[in-house]
Amino acid sequence: MFYVLTLLTIFSFIRQRKKILKEKINLVIFIFLSTAGIAMGIIHSIYPYMPSLAGALEKYMK
Amino acid sequence: MNKEVSIRQMMYMYIFITLSSILREIPFALAREADRSGYLSPLWSTAALIPLAGVILLLIKAYPGLNIYEIMVHLTGKFLAKVFILAYLLWFMLILAARVNIYSLSLQFTLMPKTRSDFFMAVMIIMVFYALAKGIKTVFRFSEFILGPIVLLIAVLFVCAFTRLRADYLFPVSIAKLPSSIMASKSVIASGGIIIIALFFADKYGISVTKQQKRRLLYAILFFVLLTFVVTLFTFGVTGALSAASFPFPFYITVKSISFFNVFERFEVLVALICMLSDFLSICVLGVLILRCIGWLFNAKQELIFAVPVTMIIFYLTYFISSTQFEYDYIYNTLMLNLSLIFQYALPFFLALLSLGSGRRLKKPY
């Protein structure tokens, strides 16, 4: 799924490049969101059984 | 002026997106919190939901044609408005990820226990992209079209289940249980408070808000409370509060025991389908709200171009929030319920107070 979503992001960038490159802020937000998404995907691929937020909350709120 | 979305459509959407909470989460939460008296909790929730409707109407009336961001800019200034919108954006991302999570967990619990959650999420992504490609109006029209048959189906289920109601599961309710019954209404208040999304689409209603439209808002809330009360009553009356507190989806178990004159049965599949449709529409609406919040936050005019990266973030966020039904229940009770009360009640009430205090009115020029 990681590869599919990454390819979709690249495809979306190529398809909408005129709108994205038209304004600097669009490009910045697109890169920021894509980087965040890809980073989350990499983390999930490396640590698929990483404790979730709920698990961490349960552990520290007891 | 041609309205993109009407208040009537918004109210249909409100009822539709709360359906999955009404059928899935509320009976379980009320049974666990208030035991046998839990079915009375929806009635207490009107004390919070009606004032919230009043706040929404007040803001729409005071600032016709303006959405919540523009109202915030007018009342608190641009900086604070952006801080609030950032907070709303994070909250929407959290509830969207949680909604995707519970959608896949429900399908695993009900119909397809051996299928991986990735598959359900991929199907949902395709459905949401297809729906949103047609425009938000299509999504609202869909809810308008499909809500009637669904309510009819739920009514038929109740007629079929009527003879199976057990009075000893519902009565007696002692006065000693009243405080826990009132406290349990928190989950109903949190689910019903999603009506706040009406303010995020307020710029699409046009500038004239008629008395009839105002009544629709109140009717929608009363319908939500009535439906919650009836669903909880039947769940407790057929399954019992003790059993309802043991299952994550007690209404599904209740419907399993219902048949139509011993001829038609297996209505639980339809219940799972209703929840799936409700989740689909809420994911569509929350997705649009996230994109709108990004647009307001960064003054980006074409926010739809961020749909794919946002999808990727939400997809992985579902794994980072919770991975099992127990974890979902825990995070829903400890974090999301309380955050919902802040974002659905505290902030809009604060805005209404500021609006009353400033006394200024603004109308969007067309």
Please report which residue ranges of chain B form alpha helices under DSSP H.
7-20, 26-34, 41-62, 68-76, 78-110, 117-133, 136-161, 167-170, 178-192, 197-200, 211-239, 241-244, 250-256, 268-298, 307-321, 325-331, 337-341, 347-358
If you count them, how many residues does chain A have?
Answer: 62
CA gap B107, B102 in Å, rounded: 8
Q: What is the pLDDT of residues A1-43, one digit of tens each?
A: 888 889 988 988 898 888 888 888 889 999 999 999 999 999 9
Q: Which of chain A's residues have a Cβ under 8 Å away from the Cβ of B327?
A: 52, 54-55, 58
pLDDT band with cut points at 50, 70 and 90 for residue B366: very low
Q: Residue B264 carries which DSSP code?
A: B
Which residue of B306, B310, B319 is in closest CB contact with A44? B319
Which residue of A1, A25, A33 is in closest CB contact with B118? A1
CB contact under 8 A, A40 and B320: yes
CB B328 within 8 A of CB B322: yes
Q: Tell me what pLDDT residue A2 has.
A: 83
CB B276 within 8 A of CB B103: yes
Please report which residue ranges of B111-196 form alpha helices under DSSP H.
117-133, 136-161, 167-170, 178-192
CB pairs under 8 A between A and B: 97
Q: Tell me what pLDDT residue B361 has.
A: 63
Report pTM: 0.90
Q: Tell me what pLDDT residue B113 has.
A: 80
pLDDT band with cut points at 50, 70 and 90 for residue B18: very high
pLDDT at B217 over 70: yes
Q: What is the pLDDT of residues B243-302, one digit of tens each?
A: 888 887 888 888 887 777 666 677 788 888 899 999 999 999 999 999 999 999 988 878
Residue B123 neighbours by CB distance under 10 Å? 16
pLDDT at B96 over 80: yes
Q: What is the pLDDT of residues B97-119, one digit of tens each?
A: 989 988 888 888 888 888 888 88
Q: Tell me what pLDDT residue B39 has.
A: 86
Q: Which of chain B's residues have a Cβ under 8 Å away from the Cβ of A12?
A: 305, 307-309
CB B279 within 8 A of CB B20: yes
pLDDT at B32 over 90: no
Q: Tell me what pLDDT residue B327 has.
A: 83
ipTM reported for the complex, 2 dp: 0.93
Q: What is the pLDDT of residues B156-206, one digit of tens each?
A: 888 888 888 787 777 777 787 788 888 888 999 999 999 999 899 888 877
Question: Which residues of A make CB contacts under 8 Å with B?
Answer: 1, 4-6, 8-9, 11-12, 16, 19-20, 23, 25-26, 29-30, 33-34, 36-38, 40-41, 43-44, 50, 52-55, 57-58, 61
Residue B360 neighbours by CB distance under 10 Å? 10
> Is the bond preceding residue B172 a cis peptide, omega within 30 degrees?
yes
Residue showing tokens 């739920």:
B154
Q: Tell me what pLDDT residue B225 has.
A: 93
CB A26 within 8 A of CB B302: yes
- Structural domains in chain B, sorted by start: 7-343 (1.10.4160.10)
pLDDT at B207 over 80: no
**B311 touching A (Cβ < 8 Å):** yes
B86 in the Ramachandran plot: left (φ > 0), alpha (ψ -120 to 50) or beta? alpha
Q: What is the least distance, in Å, from the CA of B320 to any CA of chain A?
A: 5
Q: What is the pLDDT of residues A33-55, one digit of tens each?
A: 999 999 999 998 888 888 888 88
CB contact under 8 A, B327 and A58: yes
Residue B164, judged by CB atoms within 10 A of its CB (0-12, 13-18, 19+), counts as middle
pLDDT at B130 over 90: no
Tokens representing residue B179 in the block: 């405080």
Q: Tell me what pLDDT residue B92 has.
A: 93
pLDDT band with cut points at 50, 70 and 90 for residue B362: low
Residue B261, judged by CB atoms within 10 A of its CB (0-12, 13-18, 19+), counts as exposed
CB A16 within 8 A of CB B305: yes
CB contact under 8 A, A52 and B330: no
Q: What is the least distance, in Å, from the CA of A34 to any CA of chain B?
A: 5
What are the residues facing B260 on neighbouring strands?
B264
Q: Which of chain B's residues have a Cβ under 8 Å away from the Cβ of A6?
A: 312
Residue showing tokens 């425009």:
B135
pLDDT at B85 over 90: yes
Q: Which of chain A's residues have a Cβ under 8 Å away from the Cβ of B299?
A: 25
Nearest chain B residue to A52, by CA: B320
CB B209 within 8 A of CB B142: no
CB B205 within 8 A of CB B9: no
Q: Which of B14, B72, B23 is nearest to B273 (CA)?
A: B23
Q: Tell me what pLDDT residue B170 has.
A: 77
CB contact under 8 A, A1 and B315: yes
Q: Which of B96, B305, B336 to mutate to test the interface with A (most CBs of A within 10 A)?
A: B305
CB A25 within 8 A of CB B301: no
Q: Tell me what pLDDT residue B263 has.
A: 65
Q: Tell me what pLDDT residue B1 has.
A: 44
Q: Tell me what pLDDT residue A62 has.
A: 66
pLDDT band with cut points at 50, 70 and 90 for residue B363: low
- Percent of chain B at pLDDT above 90? 27
Nearest chain B residue to A26, by CA: B300
CA gap B353, B351 in Å, rounded: 5
pLDDT band with cut points at 50, 70 and 90 for residue B359: low
pLDDT at B145 over 80: yes
Torsion on CA atoms B117, B118, B122, B128, rounded to nearest 10? 50
Q: What is the least distance, in Å, from the CA of A20 to any CA of chain B?
A: 7
Q: Tell me what pLDDT residue B257 has.
A: 78
φ, ψ of residue A49 in degrees (nearest 5):
-110, 30
CA gap B346, B87 in Å, rounded: 13
